[in-house]
A and B are shown apart, each in its own frame.
Chain A
Amino acid sequence: MSLSSASNIAKSGLNTVSAESSVLSRNITGASDTATYSRKIANVISTLDGSRVASVTRASNLAVFGNLLGATSASATQNAISDGLDTLNQTVGDVSSSGSSTTSNSTSPAALLSNFTNALQSYEASPSSSTLAAAAVSAAAAAARGLNSAVATVNQVREQADSGIAASVQTINSLLGQFQTVNAQIVGGSATGGDVTDLQDSRDSILTKLAQQIGITTTTGSNGDMSIYTDSGVTLFQGGAARSVTFSPTNTYTAATSGNAVFADGIPITGNSAAMPVATGKIAGLASLRDSLAVTYQAQLDGIAGALINAFSETDQAAPGPDLPGLFTTQGATSLPTSTTGLAGQITVNPSVDPSQGGNALLLRDGGISDTANSDYTYNTTGDASYTARLSQLLAKLSATQTYSASGGIITSANLSDYAAASVSWLEAQRSDVSSQSNYQSTLLSTAATALSNATGVNINDEMSKMLDLENSYSATAKLLTTIDGMFSMLMTDLGNLPA
């Protein structure tokens, strides 16, 4: 073997060491970036003239990464629902009793009804007092306003969920677009044997972001090409082309509004009619909030409003005539409502009994609220100042059992206060359930992230010790070169000293 071949091998060794150091310093730079960076490995092979870095690959664990995607989606679902329910919880407020007295701090319909019942009871004890009458009517108005604002909150939650879905769909489409570009680069790079590890990292990062919006599964082809499907099996990306996800938002929600479905590749993936509904991701959470949870809560509020209107309806005292809405009514109503849909948003106290609208609060005692011109609906025909029969009747009706629509998802037969309390129970049960789910999912997510980080991440100390190895290797190689150089010069000197 010649000295120059030894020198060439030493040189290739120097090249290899510097290539490895470059990969190593990339690792150290990316050490704190677990979200996108995975450890790079320089694959060194021996060749005839020494060694070289043949390729750079990255540490990866598909199974763990799949778990991370799943946990990300599930956690995003729970967070979306949890946020919405927290907003709905504003309609209940603080449920604790204030200090020693047992008056509730709650702003829930249940608590407002309780206040109203108390006011009515006080009025029943002193029926001639117009002050107490006005207080009872004002408590009734507060209850009606409470229902109105609860419905406004429900609609607000649905509107926010709807615009959240729209934003999410936009994000999904833009991520799919980025994915298309990166995926094409990886396919091209792999074919020519280039270093595509950074591109793979950024593709994974796009997938992680996508998983927050919608639950996905992926498959990878032999040429590095990747396909994405929703967790329900609808294609999002295949054959190098992104499918479009579409959604037309609805801006204003009322009780009768139902939101539009999200379509992926032309197939509905949210809503009750969807054949392949997505189970996880922000979109799934928002859709269940908008189409199911908020709607059920609304039905409960409507049930309360309907029962209130019925309990306070007035009967024709003179002839067989229709019952008319009394204390509680809706704007311009001339008969009792036939359906409860949307009542909670419209319920109001009849102006004829509301002093703040020029009405007479004493009608609460006397009857005739529904139609002040028609004396047939007056209960207190003699105009007695302490007529209590109607007030006692109202109190009895307020605590009487009524029936409610099954769409409320809770008891269908109960008295008003029990129903209103059951509604609060329902809401808080959902919140408590979602909160524990959310805790569980975020623990799962952090475990998955840790597992992935351990599988593909960088340990700086490990890299530093490798650096020491490289340093040793470098100095040994350098020493080798010096030695070879010495041998060459010794050879040259000796050659010069030869006798001519």
Chain B
Amino acid sequence: MTSYISTQSISSSMRQSILKMQAELAASQTELSTGTYADIGQTLGARTGDSLSLQAQSSLLQTITDTNQTVATRLDTTQTILGSLQSNAQDLLNSLIESNGSNSNAGTIQASGESNLQSLISSLNSTLGGDYIFSGTNTSNQAITDYYGPAAPNKAAVDSAFTAAFGIPQTNAGVSAISASSMQTFLDTAFAPLFQGANWAAGWSSASSQTLTNRIAESQTVDTSVSANHPAFQQLAQAYTMIADLGTQNLSSPAYQTVTTVARNLLTSAISSLTDLQAGVGLVQSDINDATNQMSLQMNILSTQIGNLESVNPYEITTRVTDLQTQIETSYSLTAQLQQLSLVKYL
């Protein structure tokens, strides 16, 4: 018994398979040219979300890497400034040690004090992209009030404290009469508090003690700025001010020695604090480097994973395209031959 085949089946089966193969060919060509599946969503199905998650994670890592550049720039600047402040302080300390309490070059020392104070103020008021980097979170305001500016409150406070203690301003030649012990008392009780607590905030600093914190990796947040309210800067300001503006040139030798001794102690302590600060900033810098390197490795892995999910094997596709072409061509020639294969032709 032979099976019955309708004329319609013969031609329609060929037609349907040609249509199907052409659709497949079009999809394969898209895949070949893009390197990814023609319809990723449909191919991956429930795993499409994985692909999106990986892409989101990767782009977040890229963003954090970019923002780490901003943070790193701020820290680099901070580190440089801290370095120069430390070397300035060290220079002055060296001069003080060399002079060994003698007031023979007091004028030079006073001038150095003044220039160090100015450089401290201008350094702490450094800006980066319009932000005052030592102002803590209050980056829109300059960190330190200029001691030599017009109507400077810090200068006024020092002047009035001096006058209150000795009855004369610092510039008066009469300062030579101040004894070492009364100078010591003044420095301890009236002068030092000007550089601490509420007085520091009122006279010297507009900075916020709250430092900037930034996310440098997905789960790592670090302090990324140094506030001008750090004790190291207060000590520097105190030491520079006493050398620059307590009538240093005219002081008697014992009183001068008292001033320089206090200043030497302050400078020593400030230099060691600065070193600590620099080390702290250095640690954060290396944290950022590590985090960035880590993230770059992670991004490589992520992009490999994304590739694995979305990419097609070009060799496989090429083979498939060739196969499809052959099949379609065969179908065409078969269709043409079937057209000839009719009893009508032979009647």
CA–CA, A138 and B59, complex, Å:
18
Interchain CB contact under 8 A, A458 and B49: no
Q: Are A432 and B43 in contact (CB under 8 A)?
A: yes
Judging by beta carbons under 8 Å apart, are A386 and B52 in contact? Answer: no
Is A125 part of the contact surface with B, judged by Cβ < 8 Å? yes
CA distance A435 to B38 in the complex (A): 14
Q: Which of A384, A395, A461 contacts B139 (CB 8 A)?
A: A384
Q: With a CB–CB cut-off of 8 A, which chain B residues contact A427?
A: 41, 48
* Nearest CB in chain B to that of A429: its residue: B46
The closest CB in chain B to the CB of A95 belongs to B40
Q: Which residues of A contact B225 (CB under 8 A)?
A: 386
Residue pairs across A and B with Cβ atoms less than 8 A apart, 23 shown, are A31-B8, A34-B9, A102-B55, A102-B299, A102-B302, A104-B52, A104-B59, A106-B55, A108-B52, A110-B49, A110-B53, A114-B59, A118-B59, A125-B67, A382-B138, A382-B208, A388-B137, A388-B212, A431-B41, A432-B44, A432-B46, A453-B9, A457-B9
**Once the chains bind, are A428 and B45 in contact (CB under 8 Å)?**
yes
**A404-425 vs B: 1/0 string, CB under 8 Å?**
0000000000000110111111
CB distance from B178 to the nearest CB of A (A): 41
Q: When chains A and B are docked, how far (Å) is the Cα of A432 from the Cα of B44?
A: 8
B40 x A31 contact (CB < 8 A): no
Chain B residues with CB under 8 Å of A458's CB are 6-8
Binds A, one of B166-174, B182-190, B213-221: B213-221
Range, interface on chain A: 35 or more
Decide: B6 and A386 in contact? CB cutoff 8 A. no
Q: Taking the nearest CB of chain A, how far is it from the CB of B144, in angstroms?
A: 16
Residues of B within 8 A of A485 (CB): none
Whether A114 pairs with B12 at a CB distance below 8 angstroms is no
B306 at the interface (CB under 8 A from A): yes
Cα–Cα distance between A420 and B135 once the two chains are bound (Å): 40
Q: Decide if B16 is an interface residue (CB 8 Å cutoff).
A: yes
A229 touches B (CB below 8 Å): no
Q: Which residues of B contact A (CB under 8 A)?
A: 3-9, 12-13, 16, 34, 36, 40-56, 58-60, 62-64, 66-68, 70-71, 129-131, 135-141, 208, 210, 212-215, 221, 225, 299, 302-303, 306, 310, 342-344, 347
Q: Is the CB of B213 within 8 A of A428?
A: no
Given contacts A95-B41, A384-B210, A418-B53, contact A125 B8 (CB under 8 A): no
In the assembled complex, which residues on chain A have CB atoms less than 8 Å from the CB atom of B66? 122
| B residues less than 8 Å from A111 (CB atoms) | 52, 55-56
Known: A422-B49, A432-B45. 5 other contacts (CB 8 A): A96-B40, A103-B59, A114-B55, A388-B137, A421-B50
Cα separation A404 to B52 with both chains bound (whole Å): 20
CA distance A388 to B52 in the complex (A): 29
Given A422-B49, A457-B9, A461-B342: A385 and B138 interface contact (C-beta under 8 Å): yes
| Interface membership of A392, Cβ < 8 A | yes
Q: Do residues B48 and A425 form an inter-chain contact, with CB atoms below 8 A?
A: yes
* Contact call B215/A124, Cβ cutoff below 8 A: yes
A263 at the interface (CB under 8 A from B): no
Decide if A460 is an interface residue (CB 8 Å cutoff): yes
The answer, yes or no, to whether A464 is at the interface (CB within 8 Å) is: yes
How distant is A439 from chain B, measured CB to nearest CB, in Å? Answer: 10
Chain B residue at minimum C-beta to C-beta distance from A460: B7
Q: Which residue of B lies closest to A109 (CB)?
A: B52
A433 at the interface (CB under 8 A from B): yes
A386-B138, A387-B137 are known contacts. Are A457 and B8 too (CB-CB below 8 A)?
Answer: yes
Q: Is the CB of B55 within 8 A of A126?
A: no
CB of A459 within 8 A of CB of B40, answer: no
CB-nearest residue of chain A to B210: A384
Docked Cα-Cα span, A97 to B12, in Å, equals 41
CA–CA, A103 to B52, complex, Å?
10
Docked CA distance A456–B41 (Å): 42
* Minimum distance in angstroms from B227 CB to a CB of chain A: 11
Q: A31-B7, A102-B299, A425-B47 are in contact. Are A386 and B63 (CB under 8 A)?
A: no
Name the A residues within 8 Å of B213 (CB-CB).
388-389, 392
Give A444-457 as 1s and 0s: 1 = Cβ < 8 Å from B's Cβ atoms.
00100110011111
On whether A454 and B210 interact (CB within 8 A), knowing A110-B56, A121-B60, A126-B129, the answer reads no
- Measured in the bound complex, the distance between the Cα atoms of B4 and A386 in whole Å is 85
How many Å lie between the Cα of A108 and that of B40 in the bound state? 14
- In contact, A110 and B52 (Cβ under 8 angstroms): yes
Whether a CB of chain B sits under 8 angstroms from the CB of A207 is: no
- Please pick, from B44, B53, B67, B208, the residue contacting A384 in the complex, using a CB distance under 8 A: B208
B126 to chain A, nearest CB (A): 14
Q: Are A417 and B56 in contact (CB under 8 A)?
A: yes
- Is A350 interfacial (CB-CB < 8 Å)? no
Separation in Å of the B109 CB from the closest CB of chain A?
38
**A423 contact set on B, CB distance < 8 A:** 49
Q: Which of B68, B215, B343 contacts A395 (CB 8 A)?
A: B215
| A102:B9 contact, CB within 8 angstroms | no
Contact A96–B36 (Cβ < 8 Å): yes
Write out, one digit per residue, whether chain A residues 26-43 have a CB within 8 A of any chain B CB (1) or not (0): 000001111000010000
Task: Flag if A34 contacts B71 (CB, 8 Å).
Answer: no
Interchain CA distance A281-B275 in the complex, whole Å = 80
User: What separation, in Å, do the CA atoms of A89 and B139 have in the docked complex?
Assistant: 46
- Cα separation A465 to B7 with both chains bound (whole Å): 14
Query: Are A450 and B138 CB-contacts (below 8 A) given A96-B310, A459-B5?
Result: no
Bound Cα distance A126, B130 (Å): 11
Residue ID in chain B nearest A384 by CB atoms: B137
Identify which of residues 167-193 in chain A touch chain B, using a CB-to-CB cut-off of 8 Å: none
A117: interface (CB < 8 Å): yes
In the complex, are the beta carbons of B62 and A102 less than 8 A apart? yes
CA distance A2 to B47 in the complex (A): 89
Report B-chain residues with C-beta under 8 Å of the C-beta of A385. Answer: 131, 137-141
Residues of A within 8 A of B302 (CB): 102
A27–B306 Cα gap in the complex (Å)? 59
Is A121 touching B64 in the complex (CB atoms < 8 A)?
Answer: yes
Residues of A within 8 A of B68 (CB): 125
Please name the residue on chain B nearest to A115 by beta carbon.
B59
Taking A96-B310, A102-B303, A461-B342 as contacts, is the C-beta distance between A417 and B140 under 8 angstroms? no
Residues of B with C-beta under 8 A to A115: 59
Which residues of the other chain, B, contact A457 by a CB distance below 8 angstroms?
A: 6-9
A94 at the interface (CB under 8 A from B): yes
CB nearest to B140 among chain A residues? A385
Q: How far is the CB of B202 from chain A (nearest CB, A)?
A: 16
Q: A103-B55, A118-B59, A464-B344 are in contact. Are A425 and B49 (CB under 8 A)?
A: yes
Given the contacts A108-B52, A428-B42, A428-B45, A97 and B310 also touching, CB distance less than 8 Å: yes
Residues of A459-489 whose CB lies within 8 A of B: 459-462, 464-465, 468
Q: Chain B residues with Cβ under 8 A from A97's Cβ?
A: 51, 55, 58, 303, 306, 310
Q: Is A426 an interface residue (CB 8 A)?
A: yes
Question: At the interface, yes or no: A236 with Cβ under 8 Å from chain B?
Answer: no
Task: Decide if B55 touches A424 in the complex (CB within 8 Å).
Answer: no
- Report whether A386 and B7 are in contact in the complex, using a CB–CB cutoff of 8 Å: no
Residue in B41, B49, B208, B215 whose CB lies within 8 Å of A89: B41
Partner pick for B221 among A392, A454, A465, CB 8 A cutoff? A392
**Which of A124, A395, A465 has its CB near the most chain B CB atoms (within 10 A)?**
A124
Closest 10 CB pairs of A and B: A457-B6, A425-B49, A432-B45, A125-B67, A385-B140, A114-B56, A421-B49, A429-B46, A102-B58, A428-B48
Contact status A460-B42, CB under 8 Å = no
Closest residue of chain A to B139 (Cβ to Cβ) is: A386
User: Which residues of the partner chain B approach A89 to less than 8 Å between Cβ atoms?
Assistant: 41
Q: How far is the CB of B177 from chain A (nearest CB, A)?
A: 46
